[in-house]
Structure 1
Amino acid sequence: MKRLKKRSTAALVLVLAAVLSVLGGGSWKLKQIRAAAEEAFFHGTAGFSMQDDLLELREIGYNLLRLLEGSDADEGGKRAAANAWAKLDEASTIYEYKAAHDGLSSAFSGLSPSFGDAAAQERWDRQMASFSEYESHLRFDSYYDEKAAAYNRLLERDPLTRALGSLSGGALPRWANERIGK
């Protein structure tokens, strides 16, 4: 009981309580903003989401892989595209989706197969146009990107929020920053 009566002990308890409340409150706010960004990624607004666009890219990627089987593209390029597609097929987190998308985009942009059949070439061109269209959807989806940017800005404010954010996975990936060079 004598310890609790000392001013230094009381001051230490007060400081400790203040630090814990700041950590708890800051952590709660970060979790809320991150949850809103994740909700925007997976569920979007008005029935459109980043995940839906990525799932469409996965389907288009599958069609492109099937077309590649009958092309003269080198085997290394075909394998790289198939591996990138498999990663997108297995993705379940925002980070996995971003890495898989980047890999798939890179793999298909590096291919320029030719086909002996004009109809196959036309199907390839049509699928690549669809692929590019869905990539544009990702780059211009401001609903998720604004929420991810708000979360990332909050993380950058000070070392404490950066440390709290690193516990939950760190900064959220963005697609829109690719078009503006950030």
Structure 2
Amino acid sequence: MKRLKKRSTAALVLVLAAVLSVLCGGSWKLNQIRAAAEEAFFHGTAGFSMQDDLLELRETGYNLLRLLEGSDADEGGKRAAANAWAKLDEASTIYEYKAAHDGLSSAFSGLSPSFGDAAAQERWDRQMASFSEYESHLRFDSYYDEKAAAYNRLLERDPLTRALGSLSGGALPRWANERIGK
């Protein structure tokens, strides 16, 4: 009981309360900004979102995989594309979507199959054009990317916010690094 009446104990409690309020307040602000970025990724604006484009990319990727079955493409390349597509199909977080997208893009960009008939080649070319279009949508969707960039900039400010941000998963992945500063 005597300890609770000392001034040093009261000062220590005051300092701990101040530190705790700073940590909680900073964490709350980071979580708000991160939640806004995640909302932008999954729900977007005006009915368009990054997730929607990735789901369209997944469907186009599936069509490309079906076309690959009838091609002379390398079996290793076909397997790599199928594995990358499966990862995109199973993705549920922004990080998983980013990794799966990068893998799928890499897998399909490395393929150049030839087909026995011109109609199959035309379908392949049309699907690849659609695939490229959805990738372009991802690169130029600034709604999510600007929110992710704002969150990432906050994380880079000082070690305390970096530590708080690492508790929630760290920096958010971006698709348009070359357009909007890192």
Q: Structure 1 length normalisation: TM-score? A: 0.97
Deviations 1:120-144 (A, max 9, x none): 0000001000100100000000000
Q: Give distance in 2, aligned partners of 1:66 and 1:54.
A: 18
Runs of 5+ in structure 1 lacking a partner?
A: none
Offset of residue 181 of structure 1:
8.8
SS in 2 for 1:177: coil
Offset of residue 41 of structure 1:
0.1
Offset of residue 6 of structure 1:
1.9
Distance 1:180 1:68, change over 3 A: farther
Offset of residue 164 of structure 1:
0.8
Is the Cα contact below 8 Å between 2:146 and 2:180 reproduced in 1? Answer: no
Is the Cα contact below 8 Å between 1:42 and 1:50 reproduced in 2? Answer: yes
Q: Give distance in 1, aligned partners of 2:94 and 2:10.
A: 45
SS in 2 for 1:120: helix
How many residues are aligned here?
182
Offset of residue 104 of structure 1:
0.1
Deviations 1:94-136 (A, max 9, x none): 0000000000000000000000110000000010001001000
- Matched with 2:100 is 100
Q: Give distance in 2, aligned partners of 1:174 and 1:64.
A: 25
Offset of residue 169 of structure 1:
0.5
Runs of 5+ in structure 2 lacking a partner?
A: none
Q: Give distance in 1, aligned partners of 2:51 and 2:16.
A: 42
Q: Give distance in 1, aligned partners of 2:81 and 2:170.
A: 28
Runs of 4+ in 1 over 4 A off after TM superposition: 178-182
- Matched with 1:132 is 132
Is the Cα contact below 8 Å between 1:71 and 1:114 reproduced in 2? Answer: yes
Q: Give distance in 2, aligned partners of 1:99 and 1:84.
A: 9
Deviations 1:59-80 (A, max 9, x none): 0000000000000001000000
Is the Cα contact below 8 Å between 2:138 and 2:175 reproduced in 1? Answer: yes
Offset of residue 5 of structure 1:
2.6
Q: Give distance in 2, aligned partners of 1:181 and 1:39.
A: 21
Is the Cα contact below 8 Å between 1:37 and 1:148 reproduced in 2? Answer: yes
Is the Cα contact below 8 Å between 1:152 and 1:172 reproduced in 2? Answer: yes
Distance 1:127 1:87, change over 3 A: same
What are the residue-to-residue correspondences of 1:25-36 with 2, within 5 Å?
A: 25-36=25-36
Is the Cα contact below 8 Å between 1:139 and 1:178 reproduced in 2? Answer: no
Identity of aligned residues (%): 98
1:71 aligns with 2:71: yes
Cα RMSD of the aligned pairs, angstroms, is 1.2
Q: Give distance in 2, aligned partners of 1:16 and 1:181.
A: 37
Offset of residue 3 of structure 1:
1.7
Q: Give distance in 1, aligned partners of 2:141 and 2:131.
A: 16
Deviations 1:128-165 (A, max 9, x none): 00100100000000000000001101111111111111
